[in-house]
Structure 1
Amino acid sequence: MSENIITRHAAPAVERAAKPEVRPPRPGLALALILACQLMVVLDATVVSIALPGIQRTLHFSAAGLSWVQNIYLLVFGGLLLLGGRAGDILGRRRLLTFGVALFTLASLLGGLATNPGLLIAARAAQGVGAAIAAPNTLALIVSTYQEPARRARAIGLFSSMSAGGAAVGMILGGLLTSYFSWRSVMFINVPFGLAIVLLAPRLIREPERHPSRLDLGGAITATLGTSGLVYAFIRAATAGWSAPSTLGCFAAAVLLLAGFVLWEARAAKPLLPLHLLTDRVRAGGYLTMLLLPASMFGMFFFVTQYLQNVLGYSPLRTGFAFLPLALLIFVGARLAPRLVPRYGTRPFLYGGPVLLLTGLLLLTRISAHTGYAGGILPSMVLFGTGAGFTMVPLSITILSGVRPEESGAASGTLQTMQQAGGALGTAVLLTVFSAATRHPAGRTPHALFAHGVSTAMGAAALVIAVALLTIVAVVRPQGRPR
């Protein structure tokens, strides 16, 4: 009798102990750590850009060498994201996030202490490795932690606001740090936040169930080299030209490697990227759109920054604050979208957001050497910030819906690969358009020539957004009002 009573009372406790935790003990603090990690790795892609003149003066970089301070981070980050996402599925997402942030933090410290160009570029490459290990596991932790659709949508909304707004925040922070301190501060600022994440993550973030498997090394090598080769080919095209043998060779190598990756994954027992994630029409269209949107967004950030400083004569600090309306609107839109999507569906946002982005870019095609900030740049930033804030969250939700928990790392790693590769590719392609437009002065003043190049590049960016919108309409076909 007593044994039955004990067994009856003990069974629920045993079931509760055996049942995996759905949410961490303090989900708010866990989410704050995950978002801080994402902001660090995204912000670092642009925070250095405003510090580049100071870096060149201090470390005596050549003009060509200076571009690698920015490009090496994007190259390594984009090339290793797929591997980082799949490794998290197998080895543990919290463990990989903590290790990636630790490496990123150490590399930031060494970069701030660099005394020559080689050391700084090596530190930036190491930052890219750490970011590629940590970043795909941030989104995967959100997907596996928040099972309830409404909570997950809100968490993805915050994550997307960090991803979309981080680039603009990086410019603001870069302007502040370089104006009041030095370029080294943009590297040192990562250290205290990185240490806090490393110390607190094991206590606040629940480690999801791991899925032991063999890491697909063949897929990892071909994906990393192929993605890196493609990004480098576009970077090379912007500097050496599209017809240069080195550019054509990089493109050929990248195509062969990526084709080899697809063939390898089709036969692999435990693929790095399960190809059925791409056979779904909606998800495949979403990934393509996620490649195209950052391509125009990062290009817009890059060229408007140059226009404000080179044509309007803004200081780095003033340039950073000029992006404040854009950053605020991205955060507001990303906060509101998760609350509105359950009511209205994703269709109005995935149609309306890109239209706002397209309109903002078309306005920028009209700028000249005499265009002011309030009348010419600010309206575009308002449209662009609103469009980006209301587009990225519904698109992320569309891509990740229906993904099995054991594949959330691969799915989120692919999503972030599209974002980072799109940003790098878009900037490189638009640089090529800008170079072609400014090759023949035709009697223009330097400011007028520069403005003409920016206007032409923004026209190309508008074309990219138009292709993204067409993909959404024809392939993704987002849902209207949910049942």
Structure 2
Amino acid sequence: MATTQRLVLWIAVLGSFVAFLDGTIVNVALPAISDELGGGLTTQQWVVDAYLITLGALILVAGSVSDAYGRVLVLRIGLIGFGVASIAIAAAQSSEFLIVARAVQGAAGAFLVPSSLALITSNFTGAAQSRAIGIWTAMTTSAMIVGPLIGGLLVDLASWRLAFLINVVPIAATLVLLARGAFRDVRHPGASIDWVGAVLCTLGLGGMVYALIEQPNAGWTAPSIWIPLLAGAILFVAFIARQRFVKHPILPLDLFTVRNFWTGNVATAFIYGALALNGLVVVVYLQEGPGLPATLAGLASLPMTVIMIFLSSRAGAWSGRWGPRLFMTVGPITMGVGALLLLTTTTEFSYWWQILPSMIVMGVGLALTVAPLTSAILGAIEPARSGIASAVNNAVARVAGLVAVALLAVIVGGSLDLDGFHRAAIVTAALMIAGGVTSFLGIRNPPRDPEPSTSSTSS
């Protein structure tokens, strides 16, 4: 890599790191948050989903802004907004204020991931791009997995509030690197953003998720449930319909005419819905079931992190050489097997025999999956639209996680006891396997570069 490329890669990794880290670091802090601020399972779901709603809805807008007005500008806006929101969350004195601050944080986080990935795709090409995406994937996905460990240490040794303040460190580092790089953005005159579409998308998702979260408390027949559910669905359908004719759509539907793009996004929905469900259920159950302290609950996922660090960049390189289809098939199915291993968990709890084998198997599957998945989706779209392509894929991943978490009470049967833990493991496995089958049936490997001829003409 050239010096500039290394700097770009570090900026992309750090810029995305905080969004992925915060998305999971909160999971291990949820019991401590509800103990201090109250609210029980419903508040825990909203602390997660308030972030995911604005992240999933506005990430599409951020992708359009990134392509139209510049990746560096969007990245700076996201970093500063995320830092301010993190400080507000750490200072929250009520669950309502914390949930609102989490929504603001999600909105800022929406500006981080698309612009970060777009920086990579615009500065790397060919095999180097696949390797760079593999490194980015290893680091950012490791942030998702190591988040519970960091959160657990902070919750046990200090306060859950520090789990959010820690975001300030990578944010400051990224802003310094951006200043040192003296990057310049190219702005396209006449570009505009579909803010009406953004509002429709956000309100549509918000209404439906509100109904899914509150339904176990009120029932489907309650007007407070079916009215926002119906209104949310109508608004979201209106958002999709609007994207067909608006001049500057935030969700360009023509992207979904590309086979690897739409198939990859369907697989993404299954896989990331499962990851969000599993990540939340494991760290919360280990604290509320066997009664592990937050630090040990966070340490449970450490083997996945280690495996991701060692294998993900290699998987990205292998995918660039042999194509993504094999890895996108085998990886999710392997994770599904790992999820089923959680069914060995009993009331006589043993981390080493009941949880660790699952973490190892899921770590291998995750490392094989994520970089090839990202490369397949972004590689199917021309570089000029890499920002919006990345945004769409990340929106699909976040919305899938949003829906999975919103359905948590339905999946576990109202309480996260051992039976609920087992039910969540089965649903996780089914979603993972569905992602692998989707990839096998739909993904096509790009044509390989012809091998250079071994024959030579003597002169």
TM-score, L = length of structure 1: 0.86
Q: What SS does structure 2 have at the residue aligned with 1:211? A: coil
Tell me the SS of whatever aligns to 2:111. Answer: helix
Q: What SS is found at the alignment partner of 1:48? A: helix
> 1:458/1:239 Cα in 2 relative to 1: closer, same or farther (>3 Å)?
farther
Matched ranges for 1:303-382 at <5 A: 303-382=281-360
Alpha-carbon distance, 1:403 to partner: 1.9
Residue number in structure 2 paired with 1:258: 236
Does the 8 Å contact 2:49/2:406 carry over to 1? Answer: no
| Gap change, CA 1:481 and 1:452, over 3 Å in 2 | farther
2:246 counterpart of 1:268: yes
**CA separation of 1:206/1:237 partners in 2, compared to 1, >3 Å: closer, same or farther?**
farther
Going from structure 1 to structure 2, the CA distance change for 1:307 and 1:192 (only over 3 Å counts) comes to closer
**Aligned residue runs from structure 1 range 3-402, under 5 A:** 26-60=4-38, 64-146=42-124, 148-204=125-181, 206-212=183-189, 213-237=191-215, 240-241=218-219, 244-402=222-380
Quote how far apart the aligned CAs of 1:481 are: 7.3
1:415 is the counterpart of 2:382: no
* 1:233–1:165 CA distance, 2 compared to 1 (3 A): farther
- Secondary structure of the equivalent of 1:272? coil
Residues 1:203 and 1:427: Cα distance change in structure 2 (over 3 Å): same
Deviation at 1:25, TM superposition (A): 5.5
Quick one: distance in 2 between partners of 1:115 and 1:156? 40
Partners of 2:329 and 2:437 within 8 A in 1: no
Contact 1:79–1:228 under 8 Å retained in 2: no
Whole-angstrom distance in 2 between the partners of 1:128 and 1:167: 15
The question of whether the paired residues in 2 share the 8 Å contact of 1:223 and 1:257 is answered with yes
Supply the distance in 1 between the matched residues of 2:62 and 2:327 (Cα, whole angstroms). 30
Amino acid paired to 1:78: G
Question: Cα RMSD between the aligned structures?
Answer: 2.4
Distance, in Å, in 2 between the alignment partners of 1:346 and 1:127 is 33
Q: Percent identity?
A: 32
Matched AA of 1:472:
S
Alignment partner of 2:407: what SS?
helix
* Deviations 1:172-209 (CA, angstroms, capped at 9, x unpaired): 10011112221121122112322232233143273453
- Distance, in Å, in 2 between the alignment partners of 1:255 and 1:464 is 23
**CA distance in structure 2 between the aligned counterparts of 1:24 and 1:228, rounded to whole angstroms:** 44
Structure 2: gaps (5+ residues)? 451-459
Whole-Å Cα distance in 1 between the matches of residues 130 and 173 of structure 2? Answer: 26
Task: Indicate if the aligned counterparts of 2:339 and 2:425 stay in contact, CA closer than 8 A.
Answer: yes
Q: TM-score, normalised by structure 2?
A: 0.90
Larger radius of gyration: 1
Distance 1:305 1:73, change over 3 A: same
Letter in 2 for 1:476: I
Separation in structure 1 between the aligned mates of residue 353 and residue 41 of structure 2, nearest angstrom:
33
Alpha-carbon offset, residue 302 of structure 1:
1.6
SS at match of 1:365: helix
Partner of 2:402: 424
Aligned residues: 449
Q: What is the Cα deviation at residue 305 of structure 1?
A: 1.5
Partner in structure 2 of residue 474 of structure 1? 441
Q: Is the 8 A contact 2:28 2:284 kept in 1?
A: no
